[in-house]
C-alpha cells in the first residue's frame, strides 16, 4: 500500500512539474501559444472529436459490455431506458463540450486578438460570467467522459454476482 502511495505521489509531482513547464512555456511564448490555441479552437477536427468521442464512449460502453447500467449519473438525470441513457448521454456530453468550446472560441478571439467581435454590447462582467460557465461545463464534461471511459474499461472485467442458488443478485444501484 505504501509503495502505491509513493508511486501516486511521484505521478502527482511529475504532473505538477509538467503543469509549471506548460505555464512557463506559455508565458515565454504567449504569442505563439495563443495562435496555436486559436488554431485548435477554429479547427473542424476539434469539433469532430468533441462530437465523436463522447458518443462513441457511451455506445462502446453499451455494446461491448453485458452489464448495461451506467454507475455514474448521466447529465440528463431522467432515465429513458438503458439504450437511450447511453445514446442520449453521449449526445448530451458532446453538446455540452461543443457549446463550451464555441463560447470559449468567441471569448478567446475577442479578448486576445480583437480582429473579430463575437459578443457585441456585452460588458466585462457578462463576458466573465460566460467564461466561468464555459470553463466549468468543459471541465465537468471532460471529467465525466474520462470517468465513463474508465468505467467502460473496468466493466470489461466485471462479472454478475450470483447467490448460492445461482440466482442473479438484484441490485438497484
Instruction: Examine residue 12 and tell whether it contacts other proteins (CB under 8 A).
Output: yes
Grid coordinates of 20: 509549471
Query: For other proteins, which is the closer residue by CB, 79 or 150?
Result: 150
Q: Are 104 and 115 in contact (CB under 8 A)?
A: no
Q: Does 169 bind other proteins (CB under 8 A)?
A: yes
What SS3 class is residue 117? coil
Binding mask 109-138 for other proteins (x = CB under 8 A): ----------------------x---x--x
CA distances from 109 to 53, 63, 101 (A): 25, 40, 12
Contact call for residue 67 and other proteins (CB under 8 A): yes
Radius of gyration (C-alpha) of the chain in whole angstroms: 21
User: In degrees rounded to 5, what are phi and psi of residue 76?
Assistant: -85, 110
Of the pair 49, 162, the CB lying nearest other proteins is at 162
45 near other proteins (CB under 8 A):
no
Which CB atom, from 25 or from 78, has the smaller least distance to other proteins? 25
Rounded CA separation 95/72 (Å): 18
- The span from the CA of 110 to the CA of 134, in Å, is 15
Summarize as ranges the residues that interact with other proteins (CB under 8 A).
8, 11-12, 15-16, 19-20, 22-24, 26-27, 30, 33-34, 37, 67, 69, 71, 104, 107-108, 131, 135, 138-139, 142-143, 146-147, 150-151, 154-155, 157-164, 166, 169, 171
Amino acid at each position: 500500500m505504501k509503495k502505491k502511495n509513493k508511486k501516486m505521489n511521484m505521478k502527482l509531482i511529475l504532473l505538477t512539474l509538467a503543469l509549471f513547464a506548460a505555464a512557463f512555456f506559455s508565458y515565454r511564448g504567449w504569442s505563439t501559444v495563443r495562435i496555436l490555441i486559436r488554431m485548435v479552437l477554429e479547427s473542424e477536427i476539434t469539433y469532430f472529436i468533441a462530437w465523436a468521442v463522447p458518443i462513441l464512449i457511451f455506445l462502446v460502453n453499451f455494446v461491448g459490455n453485458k452489464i448495461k447500467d451506467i454507475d455514474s449519473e448521466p447529465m440528463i438525470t431522467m432515465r429513458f431506458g438503458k439504450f437511450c441513457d447511453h445514446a442520449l448521454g453521449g449526445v448530451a456530453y458532446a453538446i455540452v463540450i461543443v457549446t463550451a468550446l464555441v463560447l470559449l472560441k468567441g471569448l478567446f478571439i475577442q479578448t486576445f486578438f480583437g480582429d473579430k467581435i463575437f459578443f457585441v454590447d456585452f460588458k466585462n462582467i457578462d463576458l466573465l460570467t460566460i467564461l466561468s460557465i464555459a470553463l466549468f461545463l468543459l471541465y465537468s464534461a471532460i471529467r465525466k467522459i474520462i470517468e465513463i471511459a474508465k468505467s467502460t474499461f473496468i466493466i470489461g472485467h466485471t462479472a454478475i454476482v450470483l447467490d448460492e442458488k445461482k440466482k442473479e443478485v438484484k441490485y438497484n444501484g
